[in-house]
Chain A
Amino acid sequence: MAASTLKIENLHVSIEGKEIIKGLNLEINGGEIHAVMGPNGTGKSTLASAIMGHPKYKITEGSVFLDNEDVLEMEVDERAKAGLFLAMQYPSEVSGVTNADFLRSAINARREEGDEISLMKFIKKLDGKMAELDMGEEFAQRYLNEGFSGGEKKRNEILQLMMLEPKIAVLDEIDSGLDIDALKVVSKGVNAMRNENFGCLIITHYQRLLNYITPDKVHVMMQGRIVKSGGAELAQRLEAEGYDWIKEELGIKDETVGQEA
């Protein structure tokens, strides 16, 4: 499997007629981990949702390509099958559908009819990944996210990531609401995914997560675009000094969407 590239060009995204993302460019290659940082209300989560095809967001301009495939032309499930994954900030709860059944359906959706994963192989893989994430066995038979704590939901997102092995994953605030132990476990899961074929975009408020997952590139989002990019050291400077110096440097008064520089 060759490494994939997710290429976002001049992306504009609106919700209910309001433009949130205003000309965003980003390229993620397999083997790279990117972090998009930024204060609240700058469009980070909108970017994640737009890539995956959330029904409420409308792409008004620009393109998103996964290798040679036009992502924006695809249905949500087709995007996933093409190799995209989004660990959601607020995963849905689905009553009556066990985690295990759901994961098996998701894995088999990627495979040809008649080539479904064997139950034994599936259980072995699931048990292994759950152990890596310190998840109790009972999680396999619990209903999908139903009654899960915030931290359990985040772990469950990473479990899905590890089971589905996408080419490019977007992790939307996977660190929010996690205590330090859970943060370590989640980071361990993401680091275990790390290889030359796996590309990842981590969206976060805080540098904290990046202490455990070292990014190759760090981008700062303000006013619906990427205003600054750098290496891991950029995240550290943001942690130490906050965002004000960037705003000053760029002459931005209000970094949130809807304000102009």
Chain B
Amino acid sequence: MSVDTKIAFDQEYIKAYSEKRQEPKWMAALRLKALEKSENLPMPKPDKTKIDKWNFTSFKHDVAGEAISSLDDLPEDVRDLVAKDQESGNLLVHRNSTPVFNQLSNELKEQGVIFTDIQTALQNHGDLVEKYFMKDVMKVDENRLTAVHAALLNSGTFLYVPRNVEVEVPIQALYWQEDPEAGLFNHVIIVAEDNSSVTYVENFLSYGHDVESVANIIAEVHVGQNARVTFGSVDNLAKGVTTYVNRRANVARDGKVDWALAQMNDGNTVSTNTTHLIGDGSYADSKTVTIGRGSQSQNFTNQIFHHGQNSEGVLLVHGVQKDSASAIFNGVTKIEHGAKKSNGEQTQRVLMMNEKARGDANPILLIDEDDVMAGHAASVGKVDPIQLYYLQSRGISRQEAERLIIHGFLAPVINELPIEGVRKRAVEVTEGKVN
């Protein structure tokens, strides 16, 4: 049986939805065109993972999120995600894709920083958003799901940092799917103009276990000349949620992007993290951790494309597979012709905790230039029984020993997550998945 991947929304619905959100005309037109295209575009084809039986159509699109009067109205585990003390102050909270809380310090506002939900951004900064929305970084017509994303977009964040502005305090966005059936079509745009710097951290959170839904997430990051963006994420969507996520950056000359992604969804997930090092001397560092458990199937592609000379890219992926979970890890380093003196390194490590767990690491080096450096390391292995024995010989139980080994295995990435609270959260999520 093949599952119908066509969505059940028509032109009238999209038109009305866009109107209701008071979007500029170009956005309404873009949505309608995307809807039309989605009917003929092929589904994405993640390497070695079959997604034809996955749910991409069963979800509720327009679910309201109840307003809150203060952060105290949030349930404790959502509130716990909010950065505290000196890291706090710049926060956007979505509830069922409805923005319910937005705060940006006056200091940053005065410097021209824009940090708002995508709906408000489309209303108030329509021209600016249009300049960046699925133009250079992502395209609407890459496949059926990117087109569906554009047509159904219902959530997201716009973060704009003007030239020479350095944002010292992290910017945080929480996407809390309270209704387990609520579909999430989340679009993040980050623009860091020349010589600026910013740290953005996002958390995705849902409950509901087996209730089916869909998350179709895109983040587009524009890193200007000599700008720096640090992008952190803790994905923690429930078992019933099928996730298709693209996080992509274009980096200009001497710009820098650091990705730190804790990909802890419990449902089937296809994730692509891509950096295009366009400018000379640009730099990307991409770190990913994940734990697969239960019977979930996941596909992770982490890739860095070198276009500029002297560009440097470092990929580090650590994945733990438990139970009968399976995952494919594709690490791609592509050095284009002309990207002289570039350096691309990648490391992918997969640790399997038992016999039924599956993990494959595919290092892919594509090099069209002679004068470069590139290296890769990939390993897939079972947990070392002698390591367990060593820890147990000190009185530590088998379960605790496995816990220590998993935490230790993921630490190189988790320790790099920006924002203390997010790091703590990643450790807690790991904890929840280990026991």
Residue of A nearest to B404 (CB): A97
Flag if B405 contacts A55 (CB, 8 Å).
no
Flag if B393 contacts A86 (CB, 8 Å).
yes
Flag if A92 contacts B394 (CB, 8 Å).
no
B390 at the interface (CB under 8 A from A): yes
CB contact under 8 A between A91 and B390, given known A77-B397, A105-B396, A110-B395: yes
CB contact under 8 A between A96 and B408, given known A54-B389, A105-B400: yes
B370-408 vs A, CB cutoff 8 Å, 1 = contact: the mask equals 000000000000001111011111111110110011011
- Give chain B residues whose Cβ lies under 8 Å from the Cβ of A95: 408-409, 411-412
Flag if A92 contacts B384 (CB, 8 Å).
yes
A86-98 vs B, CB cutoff 8 Å, 1 = contact: the mask equals 1010011111110
CB contact under 8 A between A94 and B400, given known A81-B395, A109-B395, A164-B395: no
- Give chain A residues whose Cβ lies under 8 Å from the Cβ of B401: 77
* B407 CB → nearest A CB, Å: 6
Flag if B409 contacts A106 (CB, 8 Å).
no
CB contact under 8 A between A77 and B398, given known A55-B385, A97-B407: yes
- A residues 63-120 touching B (CB-CB < 8 Å): 75-77, 79-81, 85-86, 88, 91-97, 101-102, 105-106, 109-110
B410 at the interface (CB under 8 A from A): yes
Number of interface residues of B (CB under 8 A): 24
Residue of B nearest to A106 (CB): B394
In the docked arrangement, what's the CA distance between A259 and B389, Å?
Answer: 30
Flag if B408 contacts A105 (CB, 8 Å).
no
Please name 17 pairs of A and B residues whose Cβ atoms are closer than 8 Å in the assembled complex, sorted by A: A53-B393, A54-B389, A76-B389, A76-B393, A77-B394, A77-B395, A77-B396, A80-B395, A92-B391, A94-B390, A95-B408, A96-B409, A96-B411, A97-B407, A109-B394, A109-B397, A144-B408
In the docked arrangement, what's the CA distance between A55 and B398, Å?
Answer: 13
* B381 CB → nearest A CB, Å: 13
* B100 CB → nearest A CB, Å: 37
Interface centre among A53, A86, A105 (most CB of B within 10 A): A105
* A172 CB → nearest B CB, Å: 11
Of B394, B400, B412, which is within 8 A of A80 by CB? B394
- B residues 79-125 touching A (CB-CB < 8 Å): none
- Give chain B residues whose Cβ lies under 8 Å from the Cβ of A200: none
Interface centre among A54, A76, A85, A91 (most CB of B within 10 A): A76
* B164 CB → nearest A CB, Å: 38
- Give chain A residues whose Cβ lies under 8 Å from the Cβ of B397: 77, 109
Residue of B nearest to A84 (CB): B393
Flag if B389 contacts A55 (CB, 8 Å).
yes
In the docked arrangement, what's the CA distance between A143 and B408, Å?
Answer: 9
Residue of A nearest to B403 (CB): A105
- Give chain B residues whose Cβ lies under 8 Å from the Cβ of A4: none
CB contact under 8 A between A109 and B400, given known A54-B389, A88-B393: yes
Taking Cβ atoms with an 8 Å cutoff, the residues of B that contact A are 384-387, 389-398, 400-401, 404-405, 407-412
A35-75 vs B, CB cutoff 8 Å, 1 = contact: the mask equals 00000000000000000111100000000000000000001
A160 at the interface (CB under 8 A from B): yes
In the docked arrangement, what's the CA distance between A55 and B391, Å?
Answer: 13
* A100 CB → nearest B CB, Å: 12
CB contact under 8 A between A160 and B394, given known A55-B385, A76-B389, A96-B411: yes
In the docked arrangement, what's the CA distance between A91 and B386, Å?
Answer: 9
* B168 CB → nearest A CB, Å: 27
- Give chain B residues whose Cβ lies under 8 Å from the Cβ of A105: 396, 400, 404
* B317 CB → nearest A CB, Å: 15
Flag if A92 contacts B386 (CB, 8 Å).
yes
In the docked arrangement, what's the CA distance between A79 and B385, Å?
Answer: 17
- Give chain A residues whose Cβ lies under 8 Å from the Cβ of B412: 95-96
- Give chain A residues whose Cβ lies under 8 Å from the Cβ of B404: 94, 97, 101-102, 105
In the docked arrangement, what's the CA distance between A172 and B401, Å?
Answer: 22
In the docked arrangement, what's the CA distance between A95 and B389, Å?
Answer: 15
- A residues 101-148 touching B (CB-CB < 8 Å): 101-102, 105-106, 109-110, 143-144
* B415 CB → nearest A CB, Å: 8
Of B392, B394, B400, B407, which is within 8 A of A96 by CB? B407
Flag if B408 contacts A76 (CB, 8 Å).
no
Given contact pairs A91-B390, A105-B400, a sample of 17 additional A-B residue pairs in the complex whose CB atoms are under 8 Å apart: A52-B393, A53-B393, A75-B398, A76-B392, A77-B395, A77-B397, A77-B401, A92-B386, A92-B391, A93-B387, A94-B390, A94-B404, A96-B407, A97-B404, A97-B408, A160-B394, A164-B395
Flag if B398 contacts A102 (CB, 8 Å).
no
Residue of A nearest to B410 (CB): A96
Closest 4 pairs (CB-CB, A-B): A96-B408, A96-B411, A80-B395, A92-B390
* B318 CB → nearest A CB, Å: 9
CB contact under 8 A between A109 and B390, given known A94-B404, A97-B407: no
- Give chain B residues whose Cβ lies under 8 Å from the Cβ of A86: 393
In the docked arrangement, what's the CA distance between A124 and B11, Å?
Answer: 70
Residue of B nearest to A109 (CB): B395
- Give chain B residues whose Cβ lies under 8 Å from the Cβ of A102: 391, 394, 404
In the docked arrangement, what's the CA distance between A91 and B391, Å?
Answer: 10
* B392 CB → nearest A CB, Å: 4
* A109 CB → nearest B CB, Å: 4
- Give chain A residues whose Cβ lies under 8 Å from the Cβ of B391: 92, 94, 102
Flag if A92 contacts B400 (CB, 8 Å).
no
In the docked arrangement, what's the CA distance between A101 and B400, Å?
Answer: 12
- A residues 6-57 touching B (CB-CB < 8 Å): 52-55
- Give chain B residues whose Cβ lies under 8 Å from the Cβ of A75: 392, 398
In the docked arrangement, what's the CA distance between A114 and B84, Å?
Answer: 28
- Give chain B residues whose Cβ lies under 8 Å from the Cβ of A160: 394
Flag if A97 contacts B405 (CB, 8 Å).
yes
In the docked arrangement, what's the CA distance between A109 and B404, Å?
Answer: 13
- Give chain A residues whose Cβ lies under 8 Å from the Cβ of B386: 55, 92
In the docked arrangement, what's the CA distance between A101 and B386, Å?
Answer: 19
- Give chain B residues whose Cβ lies under 8 Å from the Cβ of A96: 407-412
In the docked arrangement, what's the CA distance between A80 and B400, Å?
Answer: 14
- Give chain B residues whose Cβ lies under 8 Å from the Cβ of A54: 389
